[in-house]
Amino acid sequence: MDGGTSRFSKDGVIYHAVCASCGSTDGFPTTPGAWSATNNSPNCNNAAFKFDIGRLVADFDVLDAALDISVDKGCTFPYTAKLRFEGQGATTWTWRIDGVVVGNTPEIQYTFPTNGVYDITLTVGNPASCLQEITVGPVAFPVSGLSASAAPFDNRLCQGESTQLDVTVSATNPYTFTWTPTTGLSDPNVLNPIVNPMASTTYVLNVLDDIGCTASFNFPIEVVPDLSDDFELVNDFGLEVERDCVPTEITFTYETSMVDNPTWTWQIDGQAGNFANQSGFTIDYDQEGIYNVVLNVSRGGECAQQITINKSFTLGILEVAASPDTTLCFGESVQLNAQASETGVSYQWSPTTGLSNPTIPNPVASPTQTTTYTVRITDGSACVKEETVLVAVRPEIVLDYTLLLGSDCGKPSTITFENNSVGALNYEWRIFDDTGNLLDGSFQSGDAPVPFTFAENEVGTYQVQLRAFNARCEEILLQSVEVENNLVFPPNVITPGLDDGKNDTFQITEFRKNYRFQVYNRWGGLMYESENYQDDWGKEVEAGIYYYLLTSPAGVECRGWIEVIR
């Protein structure tokens, strides 16, 4: 090779890579399926090609002649198969079965005459190849004979009947078998068991020989069920009735959905008709007593049957009453009461949540939310009556409010109310002095009262009362508030620039001792702050307008402005 790179595989294939189609030419030959059939580069390309000089590979497959699918065994004989060459490079083929030549084409059809293990060999050749001739095999191909047949059987049985399943297996090789399911089989280890299924069942027999050949049979058996030997008596509570109380409604039901063509009649005390072939019908009762019911059911045909079913039920009289519905404030309790027309009855209240005792006639109920209580009263004959009591619970009133006390300096104090309470519909606000007297004009109603301004002489400790209502439910909350004297107006002008030693600083301590003092410029920037102001601010600041905030030891705020003149 002139240039490029060559590689040789163990099968004699040469792989070669060279530069090709330089200068945008397209002179290098390509084959179908190449990476690219054209030159896509203005410069040189990499061209790859291979030389497969007489490559010879021997391989074959065995296929079922009818289905044309690969197989590794034959399960009947004579068995016809296809032998197909799956290698490459061959020009001659020689097929041998147990050493005997049986064909010389790429694919042959061969019939294995009997059971046994056959050796299959294929020899292929090509004079132009490096290897010239290759043989593959022998490959063992087993053939067995497995077949089975079933005798007729009864595929429809009456309840309790049985039938025999009888299978004959013909096999040239050892085999095993299994029955599924095994329920109802007399012996699962024989080919002719007797079956006695309780319900419709499909039995399956699977046979397997030692080379993996299989055979199977299905035996579907329908079992005709017996007539149902029960019927239902259900009251208007949906309960099965043996004892009940009048008035009541009883439904008579006989289930026949799984039974072939039955007929039936009812004999019911106090009823004239026989309700032939009726189910799910209802009768109203208003008289106490013992009632007998007879149901006669019959069926003809291959599974003929006739049964008689007897039942009775007792009806009594029980009158009951319970407390009227009521409404509670949150946290309150109420005593419930139930009464019965008879003695010796039992009581059961539900739900039991919030009840002092759910099994007495008069429990105390303390629910935290609206609840419907049901009392179930049962007498000695199992007569049952129910009554309900609705106990409505008003929402819990939770009082919470904030008082904000403040004023402009030199003006009477004002109190602002922030109401955060929940659960109430109406609110009343009052302010009392330290002797318990209501301040004039302090009464307001509503959840958002307007701010209240104290009179000039109203200084001291006051009680703010919030009273909240939801219907008859009421809660009260008191808070104390300290009202200070804001009427002495601080100075609004100081003159530190006059050099007369007078009015040089902002002075308040004669009237407001231990106040916090804060000074802000016109842009809201904090310029000065003291937690215990000593009348010493203003002498060194520039002329202008400043704004101050005074906060008393009790937290009351007073705002104003001050002009500094120089």
Which residues, at least 6 apart from 177, have a Cβ–Cβ distance to it below 8 Å? 169, 191, 205, 206, 207, 208
pLDDT at 26: 67
Average pLDDT of the segment spanning 531-547: 91
CA distance 138 to 146: 25
Residue 231 class from Cβ within 10 Å (0-12 exposed, 13-18 middle, 19+ buried)? middle
Closest CA to 510 of 494, 533, 541: 533
How many Cα atoms within 13 Å fall on the side-chain side of residue 147?
6
pLDDT at 190: 95
Confidence of residue 1 (pLDDT cuts 50, 70, 90): very low
Average pLDDT of the segment spanning 509-514: 68
Tokens for 406? 């403040």
| Domain regions of the chain by residue span | 5-52, 60-143, 146-224, 232-317, 320-393, 401-483, 493-564
CA distance 290 to 242: 10
- Digit-coded pLDDT (tens) for 135-185: 898 999 999 999 888 999 999 999 999 999 999 999 999 999 999 999 999
- Digit-coded pLDDT (tens) for 8-21: 666 556 777 777 77
How many Cα atoms within 13 Å fall on the side-chain side of residue 21?
19
pLDDT at 382 over 80: no
CA distance 69 to 82: 9
Lowest mean pLDDT among 88-102, 229-243, 347-361: 229-243
Which residues, at least 6 apart from 186, have a Cβ–Cβ distance to it below 8 Å? 193, 194, 195, 196
Average pLDDT of the segment spanning 353-372: 96
Confidence of residue 486 (pLDDT cuts 50, 70, 90): low
pLDDT at 48: 75
pLDDT at 4 over 60: no
* Helical spans, DSSP H, in 103-168: none
pLDDT at 54 over 80: no
Closest CA to 470 of 393, 522, 547, 357: 393
pLDDT at 235 over 50: yes
* Cβ–Cβ < 8 Å for 73, 141: yes
Q: Tell whether omega for the bond before 367 is within 30 degrees of 0, i.e. cis.
A: no
CATH of 493-564, one of 3.30.70, 2.40.160, 2.60.40, 3.40.50: 2.60.40
Residue 496 φ then ψ, to 5°: -70, -15
CATH of 60-143, one of 1.10.3470, 2.60.40, 3.30.70, 3.40.50: 2.60.40
pLDDT at 511: 62
Confidence of residue 498 (pLDDT cuts 50, 70, 90): confident
Per CATH, the number for 146-224 is 2.60.40.10
Please report where in the chains the tokens 């009855």 appear, as a residue.
345
Domain pair 146-224 / 320-393, same fold: yes
- Digit-coded pLDDT (tens) for 451-476: 888 876 777 889 999 999 999 999 99
pLDDT at 27: 67
CATH of 320-393, one of 3.40.190.150, 2.60.40.10, 3.40.50.1820, 3.60.21.10: 2.60.40.10
pLDDT at 231: 92
pLDDT at 168: 92
Tokens for 169? 């297996």
pLDDT at 512 over 70: no
Q: Which CATH class is domain 232-317?
A: mainly beta
Dihedral sign of CA atoms 69, 71, 74, 78 in order: positive
pLDDT at 386 over 70: yes
pLDDT at 2 over 60: no
Residue 318 class from Cβ within 10 Å (0-12 exposed, 13-18 middle, 19+ buried)? buried
pLDDT at 11: 59
* Cβ–Cβ < 8 Å for 123, 89: no
**Percent of the chain clearing pLDDT 70 (strictly above):** 92
Coil, strand or helix at 154: coil
Tokens for 246? 């009048």
- Digit-coded pLDDT (tens) for 519-528: 999 999 999 9
Task: Please provide the average confidence, as pLDDT, over all residues in the chain.
Answer: 88
The CATH architecture assigned to 401-483 reads: Sandwich (2.60)
Average pLDDT of the segment spanning 397-402: 94
Confidence of residue 485 (pLDDT cuts 50, 70, 90): low
Where on the phi/psi map is residue 104: left (φ > 0), alpha (ψ -120 to 50), or beta?
alpha
Higher-scoring residue by pLDDT: 38, 123: 123
